[in-house]
Amino acid sequence: MSVRTRADLASLPSYVPGRTIPGAIKLASNEVSAGPLPSVVKAIAEAATAVNRYPDNGCTELTGRIADKLGVPVDHVALGCGSVTLCQQLVQATCTENDEVLFAWRSFEAYPIVTHVSGAKQIRVPLTDEHVHDLDAMAAAITPNTRMVFVCNPNNPTGTALRTEEIEAFIAKVPRDVLVVLDEAYKEFVDDAHVPDGVELAKQQWAAGHDNVAVLRTFSKAYGLAGLRVGYAVAQPAVADALRKVYVPFSVNAIAQVAAMASLDAEDELMARCRAIVAERTRVRGELLAMGFDVPETQANFVWLPLGERTAAFNEHCLAHKVIVRAFVGEGARVTIGEPEENEAFLAAARSFTS
């Protein structure tokens, strides 16, 4: 007799990470190409000498540092093993098998996976023709069974971003027992003053009685710690406490905690890197537009090429030129902004694509 597992998992798509091919330039995973700063590497090396001890399960010092940085009480902050794990914890903390999680599509590909694994139902609302969240349609799709709404801003994989007044108007339409989660994995790359700082927006919403707003952020992108996995949620204490209840013990490891704090110490230098990436993003998008590609305005560290049925051919063409992009076959390709020479290699490949 075979071990019985959940039959519904057979229909669950696996998360597809960006490919790694020896000798190729990887622009598929929205990583920051530059390695950790020397000060962060030094902190990691020192922390490695104590890995025989369990990490602080409550991430006490790091939680305090984040709370101080954001100007919120410590009971408003919950840590997790990357923001993707916090996505799953949020579903676990709010939903049963009778409940629904609503999100735009296409958006972060982990949303349907964590929803399905948690046993909840997923409701997908198509993006607009401009590749942006259709907030009116999302509000209309909320039912009495809806427990949570993910709003990825800037959106992954399109890079498009919602403005402050759009999000505020949306929150006003959402029942107060439905949690609105602003997923801000790429917040540090935003240079449009009309795109809100989610934490500041959340504070204003809380003050107005809308306790149903939470924000997710990560150290994986701008802070360059994708390999260590640490993210955080900012929410009202009841939500943050629920997240801690479904937290897998010790899942934010000791080295990740130390590296995150060292990165906060070096934040000015890391944000200068972000500004350089933003400048490259503008250049790359401009060159792609000049080539005739359709590239939505992006506020993330990547660009989106909505190539439709040409996506697979474009992906193979880039691979032939030793450049790895993230292809969503039949829809489009997401391309991370790397170092200037990496971007040049991608642009050369794009320039010679004729399909």
Q: Is the pLDDT of residue 7 over 70?
A: no
The percentage of residues in the chain with a pLDDT greater than 90, rounded to a whole number, is: 92
**Rounded Cα–Cα distance for residues 226 and 186 (Å):** 13
Q: What is the pLDDT of residue 15?
A: 55
Q: Is the pLDDT of residue 14 over 70?
A: no
The residue length of the chain stands at 355
Write out pLDDT tens, residues 241-250.
999 999 999 9
* Cα angle 120, 75, 229; round to 5: 60
For each of the domains in the chain, give its residue range(s) and CATH number, in order of start. 7-36+268-351 (3.90.1150.10), 38-265 (3.40.640.10)
Mean pLDDT, rounded, for 223-232: 96
Q: What is the largest CA-CA distance in the chain?
A: 61
Mean pLDDT score across all residues of the chain: 95
Mean pLDDT, rounded, for 268-295: 97
Q: Which residues contact 279 (CB under 8 A, 6 or more apart)?
A: none
Write out pLDDT tens, residues 59-78.
999 999 999 999 999 999 99
Mean pLDDT, rounded, for 76-86: 97
Mean pLDDT, rounded, for 31-40: 91
309: left (phi over 0), alpha (psi -120 to 50) or beta: alpha
State both tokens at 345: 């290699």
**Rounded Cα–Cα distance for residues 20 and 30 (Å):** 13
**Rounded Cα–Cα distance for residues 68 and 63 (Å):** 9
Least confident of 21-35, 88-102, 295-309: 21-35
Strand partners, 323: 25
Q: Is the pLDDT of residue 302 over 80?
A: yes
Mean pLDDT, rounded, for 116-129: 96
* Cα angle 229, 275, 214; round to 5: 45
Q: Which residues contact 132 (CB under 8 A, 6 or more apart)?
A: 155, 158, 160, 161, 162, 296
Q: What is the pLDDT of residue 22?
A: 73
Q: What is the DSSP letter of 12?
A: P
Backbone angles phi, psi at 36, to 5 degrees: -60, 155
